[in-house]
Chain A
Amino acid sequence: MIDRAQVRRIATLANLALTEAEEETLAGELSQILGYIEKLSAVDVTSIPPTAAPPAAGNLRKDVLIPSLTAEQALANAPARVLTTFAVPKILE
C-alpha cells in the first residue's frame, strides 16, 4: 500500500533523514499497520460527530504575568548559542 516513494515524501514532511534500507523497512511496516487500520472502514460513521479530546472541559487561566524562565535558564540546554540567542546554521547568505 505504501511504497518507497511515499515513504520518502512522508519523511520529508516529518523532517527525518532515512537510509534506503530504512525506507524499504518502513514501507513494509507502514503498509502492514495501515492494512490493520483498514478495519475502521467497516464502521458506518455517517452523521457521527468527531471527538477530538475527552469531554472534560479545560479552562484557560487568567492572562496575568507569572514568573517564567530567565534567558539563562532557557538557554542552559542549548546545543549552541550566541549571546542570548539559540544559534542555528545560516539560512540566508
Chain B
Amino acid sequence: MSAALLNLTLSELSEKLRARELSAAEVTQAELDRIQSVDPQVHAFLRLDAAGALAQARAADARLDAKAALSPLDGVPLALKDLFCQEGVETTAGSKILSGFTPPYDGTAVARLKAAGAVLLGKVAMDEFAMGSSNENTPFAPVHNPWDLTRVPGGSSGGSAAAVAARECFGALGTDTGGSIRQPAALCGIAGLKPTYGRVSRYGVVAFASSLDQVGPMARTARDCALMLEVIAGRDPCDATSAEVPVPNYLEGLGGDLKGLRLGVPREYFGQGLDSQVEREVRAALKKLEALGATLEEVSLPHTEYGIAAYYIVATAEASSNLARYDGVRFGHRTKDAEALKSLGGMYRHTRAEGFGPEVRRRIMLGTYVLSAGYYEAYYLRAQKIRTLILRDFEAAFQKVDAIVGPTSPTPAFKLGERTSDPLAMYLADAYTVSANLAGLPGLSIPCGFASASSDGGRSLPVGLQLIGKPFEERTLFRAALPLEEELGLAHREPPL
C-alpha cells in the first residue's frame, strides 16, 4: 500500500487528497517511515521536523475535509534545501559556519509554500553554500544517488533531487546558480526548473552569487514543477530583483500536440565531452518531440565554450562579497581559539578558516583575486563582456526558435570521489547549464531515458533533457515537456532501493 502511495506523482497525490481518497496525515506518516527506512543509505535529509509536518498535515486534512483547500499543494509533503530560512528550524547552507543558526523568520518561498498548505518535512543536504556539482563539498555525509548508491546525486541541490527520486517527498525546493537544480535533477531522474531570473523571490535564501541565483521547484514531473512554481513565483517587495511580471496559470490549455512549436538544437551542446549514451537518449527524445509536432532546427550558441570560465569569475567574485558576512559576529560559528580572539581581525580570520570547507575557501580566494586591484579588468570586467556575448547568442537563436533543447549534463552520474581531487573537472559538469544563469533564462530538465554504466555491471543511470526558454516564458517549456513526459512514461519508474 504505502509503496504505491509514495510512487504517485505530486499532481496525482494532489487529486487524491482533494478527492479524500488519501489523508495528508497518512501520506506524511508514510513519508516519515520511508525516510527512516531508506535515508540511512541515501543521506538526503539533514534534519526532520516530524512533529511540525504531522501537525501541518492534520491542519491540511481539516481544510480538505471542508473542501477549502488552499492550493493544489495543500497537504503535499515537500522538502527544503538547507539554505531556505524557515522560522525556528536550523538552517546551515550545508556549512559548519552556520551550524546552530535558527532563522527568526520564513523566507518568501517558504512562507508561500506554508500559505499554500504544503507540509514541510525537513531540510535536505547540499554542497556547502551551493558550491558544487556532486554534494561532496560538505562537512556532513555525502548524499548517494538512489539509482546507484556508489554514485553522486549531482549538486548542489543533490539532497533535494535524491529525496524526490527516493520517494522521500513529493517535491522539493532547490536553488540554481550554474545548474544546481537541473544537473542533480538529470542525474537523479527527476524534473527540475530554474525559473527566469527575477521570477521567484530570494528573500530568506542564503546567497551565493546574486546575479545568478534563482529558486526553483524539483519534483518527479514537469507538471508537478508547474504546480509548485505557481505557488512560489511573483513579485516580493523584500527582493528588489523580483520582477513585476504577472504569474500565469502555467498548465491551463497545455497538453496535446506541439504543432507550431519551434525548437532549436544547439550544435555546441553535442560536441566533445558529451557521453555517447547521453547523446543517444537525448536524440531519441528529440525525435519524439518532432513526432509530437514540434519542428527542430539546428542553431548555434557560439560562445558556449566560454560559459564555464566566465561563470567561475562572476560567481566567485559575487560569492567572495556575499560570504563576507560570515565573520562570527552576529550568527553562526565563532572561533574558540583564545589567541585568535585577542583581536577582531584574528577572530574573523580564524572563524572563517574553521567554518568554511575547502571548496568554499577556494572560491572566496578566486573571487577575491579577480576583484583585486590590477586584475579587475582582466578578469571580472572581461567576464561581464563575455556574459553580454552569451546573452546575444540566445537573443539571436530566439529570433528563429521558441526554445532551445539539448542535454542537461554531459554525463550520467559519476562515482563518489571520482572528481573530488580535480576542481576543474567538477566545474565542467555544468557546461550546458551555466549559460542560462548568465543570461537569466528559464531552464527545465526532465528525465528522458537511461544510460547503462558499462564500467561496473550495467546499472541504469538517468539521463536528463534540458529546455531553455525566453525570459518569463516558463509556460513554453512546460508546453513542450508535458506531452513528452507522457510519451516517455518514466514518472513511475522507481530506483532500485
> Is B211 a contact partner of A79 (Cβ separation < 8 A)?
no
Cβ contacts under 8 Å, B273 to chain A: none
**In B207-260, which residues have CB < 8 Å from any A CB?**
210-211, 235, 237-238, 240-244
Measured CB to CB, the closest approach of chain A to B463, in angstroms, equals 26
> Is B388 a contact partner of A58 (Cβ separation < 8 A)?
no
Within 8 Å by CB of A39, from B306, B324, B385, lies B306
> Is A77 a contact partner of B361 (Cβ separation < 8 A)?
no
> Is B372 a contact partner of A13 (Cβ separation < 8 A)?
yes
A65 contacts the other chain (Cβ, under 8 Å)? no
Instruction: Give Cα distance in the complex from A24 to B464, angstroms.
Output: 39
> Is A78 a contact partner of B348 (Cβ separation < 8 A)?
no
Q: Which of A54, A60, A66, A89 has the most CB of B within 10 A?
A: A54
> Is B342 a contact partner of A89 (Cβ separation < 8 A)?
yes
Within 8 Å by CB of B368, from A10, A80, A89, lies A10
Measured CB to CB, the closest approach of chain A to B358, in angstroms, equals 8
> What's the dominant secondary structure at chain B's contact region?
helix
A52 contacts the other chain (Cβ, under 8 Å)? yes
Known contacts being A14-B368, A16-B353, A18-B353, is A40 close to B331, with CB within 8 Å?
no
Known contacts being A54-B197, A61-B237, A89-B343, is A45 close to B440, with CB within 8 Å?
no
A5 contacts the other chain (Cβ, under 8 Å)? no
> Is B387 a contact partner of A86 (Cβ separation < 8 A)?
no
Measured CB to CB, the closest approach of chain B to A77, in angstroms, equals 4
Cβ contacts under 8 Å, B350 to chain A: 17
A: number of interface residues (CB 8 Å): 53
Q: Taking CB as reference atom, which chain B residue is nearest A9?
A: B372
Q: Which of A11, A48, A56, A91 has the most CB of B within 10 A?
A: A56
Instruction: Give Cα distance in the complex from A54 to B242, angstroms.
Output: 12
> Is A37 a contact partner of B343 (Cβ separation < 8 A)?
no
Measured CB to CB, the closest approach of chain B to A79, in angstroms, equals 4
* A48-90 Cβ-contact flags toward B at 8 Å (1 or 0): 1111111111111100001001000110111110000010111
Measured CB to CB, the closest approach of chain A to B199, in angstroms, equals 8
A3 contacts the other chain (Cβ, under 8 Å)? no
> Is A15 a contact partner of B349 (Cβ separation < 8 A)?
yes
Cβ contacts under 8 Å, A86 to chain B: 329-330
Measured CB to CB, the closest approach of chain A to B483, in angstroms, equals 29
> Is B440 a contact partner of A57 (Cβ separation < 8 A)?
no
Cβ contacts under 8 Å, B142 to chain A: none
Cβ contacts under 8 Å, B81 to chain A: none
> Is B312 a contact partner of A88 (Cβ separation < 8 A)?
no
> Is A58 a contact partner of B198 (Cβ separation < 8 A)?
yes
Contact count band on B: 35 or more
**In A11-40, which residues have CB < 8 Å from any B CB?**
11, 13-18, 22, 26, 29-30, 32-34, 36-37, 39-40
Interface segment out of the listed B100-108, B162-170, B172-180: B100-108
Instruction: Give Cα distance in the complex from A13 to B305, angstroms.
Output: 31
Within 8 Å by CB of B330, from A2, A45, A78, A90, lies A78
Within 8 Å by CB of A16, from B241, B308, B330, B361, lies B361
* B339-359 Cβ-contact flags toward A at 8 Å (1 or 0): 011111111111011001000
Instruction: Give Cα distance in the complex from A15 to B350, angstroms.
Output: 8
B366 contacts the other chain (Cβ, under 8 Å)? yes
Q: Taking CB as reference atom, which chain A residue is nearest B345?
A: A15
> Is A36 a contact partner of B424 (Cβ separation < 8 A)?
yes
Q: Taking CB as reference atom, which chain A residue is nearest B390?
A: A51
> Is B243 a contact partner of A39 (Cβ separation < 8 A)?
no
> Is B100 a contact partner of A77 (Cβ separation < 8 A)?
yes
> Is B197 a contact partner of A57 (Cβ separation < 8 A)?
no
Interface segment out of the listed B4-12, B18-26, B121-129, B375-383: B375-383
Known contacts being A77-B331, A79-B334, A89-B342, is A16 close to B104, with CB within 8 Å?
no
Give chain B's interface residues, CB within 8 Å of chain A.
Answer: 100-102, 104-105, 196-198, 210-211, 235, 237-238, 240-244, 303, 305-306, 308-310, 312-313, 320, 324, 327-334, 340-350, 352-353, 356, 361-362, 364-366, 368-369, 372, 378-379, 381-389, 391, 423-424, 438-441, 471-472
Contacts A10-B368, A51-B385 given; 17 further ones with Cβ under 8 A?
Answer: A2-B369, A6-B369, A7-B365, A10-B372, A33-B366, A37-B312, A37-B379, A40-B383, A41-B382, A48-B388, A53-B211, A53-B440, A54-B439, A73-B104, A74-B330, A77-B102, A88-B344
**Can you list 23 contacts pairing A with B, beta carbon distance less than 8 Å?**
A11-B365, A14-B365, A16-B356, A17-B340, A30-B366, A34-B366, A36-B424, A37-B309, A37-B379, A39-B309, A43-B306, A45-B385, A50-B388, A52-B384, A54-B471, A56-B197, A56-B198, A56-B243, A66-B237, A74-B330, A78-B331, A79-B329, A88-B329
> 10 closest A-B pairs (Cβ-Cβ)?
A54-B440, A50-B384, A56-B198, A77-B331, A79-B334, A61-B237, A53-B211, A17-B349, A73-B104, A45-B385
Give chain A's interface residues, CB within 8 Å of chain B.
Answer: 2, 6-7, 10-11, 13-18, 22, 26, 29-30, 32-34, 36-37, 39-41, 43, 45, 48-61, 66, 69, 73-74, 76-80, 86, 88-91
